[in-house]
Structure 1
């Protein structure tokens, strides 16, 4: 009788754990959990606050800081190679950067990647990141400063360096609605006058 109760308890636990993994993520090769898309995937207003200083190296290039980008809006997207939802969003970020044509800077910040820098580079290459600049947050400090708890997390910083909106989870940035929302949030003209040099 006691053994049957223990077996049923173990089975119930395993079934519960399986349901948890299906709905809330699965462990990656690094042992971290892919948080998946958040329940709220739309841009929502943030109480305006000055963006923390950020200076991160581009992969194989110089550092980029928010201070040097002041004067135009910035789309700051945090992602990690072990996050399946993040990988789906990368292509949309590149298309967004192309659609904006330099009106706003699009920064794809790789974070929480540990020893997987090669995987970061491979994903960036496969998704054609060029206009969306790839920045490396190797020590996760930038993610901590911006209180990133869900990946992907995207923040929209206005031209004065103030964080206005936040998206926790996936946003399909290649959609016309997302582009229109971003233009409204960042106070950009609704119809682009053409590409500008980034």
Structure 2
């Protein structure tokens, strides 16, 4: 049975375009894969701690000195288990200050673990989270796609795609809605284009 991992990172709640698009993508994938199981991770409502020195100390054999840290380590481990269990991964990734939200960066830090999701070999790093299909709902207030005057300011999609590829996830489809802050008409048009892309997804 197909398992879908649904990840949201926008702080805007019901006003979030990326959350609306991830919901549409998940619904579309459920239509394509009837009976699929969905695992939901809302990185705003239920976030793990950001990576810190106490985490690294435990990773290197130190003691877990609080129940809070123990629970957080379990959450970070569950994030990794989510990835390996999923066949399809849907990630909501709005652009905040030219990059991804800190909540999503925190998730990336917790799933990028040497020996678990990647390893170093004679030919360099090798991603271990393979065989996954990833859909990214990318939203932006401005226009930063290739060919635009501000394309060089995109450290959102470029970073996320690099981070996913590093741990082995290279089959990524980006559904993009940009120019959302340029007025109601451009916003509506961008959302309509993104929704049309979602409806056209076969798998």
* Structure having greater relative contact order (Cα 8 Å, sep ≥ 6): 1
Greater Rg by CA:
1
Give the TM-score, by structure 2 length: 0.23
